Amino acid sequence: MKKTLLLLLFLPLSLLSQAQEDSLQANRYVMRATLYGAGFTNILDTYLSPMEYTGPEIRILRESMRMTKLMEGKVSVQSLFQANLSMAKNRAETSNEMAGMVNWNYALHYQFRLTESLKILVGPMLDLNGGFIYNMRNSNNPAQAKAYINLATSGMMIYRFKIGNYPFVARYQANLPIIGVMFSPEYGQSYYEVFSLKHGGKNVLFTSLHNQPSLRQLATLDFPIWSINMRFGYLCDIQQAKVNQLKSHTWSHSFMIGFVKNFYLLKGKNKVAMPNQVSPY
């Protein structure tokens, strides 16, 4: 059963990789952005503690988009990498937790151009996640590893508008995991039992909307300041799971700021964007 689930997940991955190879030979007008942010997080992991932990979070996000040759050049590819680190404490202020997470998304979006100013993008997404939670008070089970992979559906709306002669680009994106696999120890099972004693158990589990109801939402606003394209953003990252009689969630809200670059890529060199190239964004 586990081998079947892994095959179902990695088969689309190979198809997405092939699409990436096709995109390298297609339109090379690239949009890249780097954002830095800070915000607030709420963490619960009953493997470590029955209490919720809250505190500040810092985050970095890097994104790139470009068009492919798929479906007559109407499909764009998006790569989105983010990492976050947080320090939280419980309500009684008797213990602290440190948490970190790395996430990489790779998506193909079919672009519906409704008007000259409005585009709707819809498509599949590969979602890879890895990280940790460390409880500074626990001595027996002080840490919990986080590792899961999903196939998700992704939707995006991009709207260009002006206030006077000043141009803006607004974007809203939502990514919803549909099916995946997740690593988790069983209730009461230590990592020593899992990896050293190699006790059998259900540590690789099937996930879907019934036991991993999660959602990532990203809203951004682009605007130029002299020759620099600025981007303000808000990220709402809701990650939840209930597996092996263990409940966990990480609810994060981050406000972000950064820069956007648009350029023409040719043989590994960055050149000025060509006016006859189709923008993916």
Q: Is residue 112 part of a domain?
A: yes
In a domain, 278, yes or no: no
DSSP characters over 22-54? HHHTS--EEEEEEEEEEEEEEEEETTTEEEEEE
How confident is the model over 102-157, as pLDDT tens digits? 999 999 999 999 999 999 999 999 999 999 999 998 888 899 999 999 999 999 99
Query: Do the beta carbons of residue 87 and residue 42 sit within 8 Å?
Result: no
- 267 Rama sector, left if φ>0, alpha if ψ -120 to 50, beta otherwise: left
Residue 57 pLDDT > 70, yes or no? yes
Q: pLDDT band for position 273 (50/70/90)?
A: very low
Domain membership of residue 28 (yes or no) is: no
The token pair that represents 151 in the structure block: 């196939």
* pLDDT score at 201: 78
CA distance 200 to 2: 14
Model pLDDT, residue 244: 96
> Which structural domain range is residue 144 located in?
2-22+37-271
Inside any domain, residue 169: yes
Q: Is residue 93 part of a domain?
A: yes
Q: Which of 6-10, 15-19, 31-35 has the highest mean pLDDT?
A: 31-35
Query: For residue 6, is pLDDT > 60?
Result: no
CATH of the domain at 195: 2.40.128
Distance of CA 131 to the CA centre of its chain: 13
Q: Which of 114, 115, 120, 223 is nearest to 162 (CA)?
A: 223
Residue 24 banded pLDDT, cuts 50, 70, 90: very low
pLDDT tens digit sequence for 165-216: 999 999 999 999 999 999 999 998 989 888 888 777 789 999 999 999 999 9
279 within some domain = no
Residues 27-35 have a mean pLDDT of 87
| The total number of structural domains that make up the chain | 1
Q: How confident is the model at residue 264 (pLDDT cuts 50, 70, 90)?
A: confident
pLDDT for 9? 52
Do the domain assignments include residue 129? yes
The overall average pLDDT reported for the chain is 88
Is residue 108 a part of any domain in this protein? yes
